[in-house]
Amino acid sequence: MRSFQQRRPKFESRGIRVVAISVDPPKINRRQGQKLGYTYTFLSDPKAEVVGRYGLLHQGGGPESSDIARPAEFLIDSTGTIRWINLTDSVTVRARPEQVLKAFDDLKPAAPSGA
């Protein structure tokens, strides 16, 4: 997540808004974000409703066997359509910012030839 913060200008220059979601309560998300210097939005889903809807709940994967959200990256367009997903089976594997930026760039339609 730190690498996404460090490359935030590259995302913003493409019109991409970085948002994180976790099952932690808002107070913990806020404190963690401030402590680590994250300036992007953190959403809380303590009942894992959204996390569960997207199949991202890792039951018992957290401290003291608490439920956590699996790492995943989504590119969602302005209509709410999911355009790209990175899901892994491991809570330790995440997409790198460069991978997400490349996926975004690859989604953009090519300019018409001769234009």
CATH of the domain at 83: 3.40.30.10
Sign of the dihedral defined by the CA atoms of residues 36, 42, 48, 54, in that order:
negative
Q: Is residue 110 part of a domain?
A: no
Q: DSSP alpha helices (H): ranges in the chain?
A: 2-6, 8-13, 26-36, 49-53, 97-107
* Host domain of residue 59: 2-105
pTM score of the predicted model: 0.78
Q: Around Cβ 31, how many Cβ atoms within 10 Å?
A: 12
Q: pLDDT tens digits, residue range 63-106?
A: 899 888 888 999 998 898 999 999 877 777 889 999 999 999 99
Q: pLDDT tens digits, residue range 6-58?
A: 999 999 999 999 999 888 899 999 999 999 999 988 899 999 999 899 888 88
Q: Is residue 112 part of a domain?
A: no
The tally of domains found in the chain comes to 1
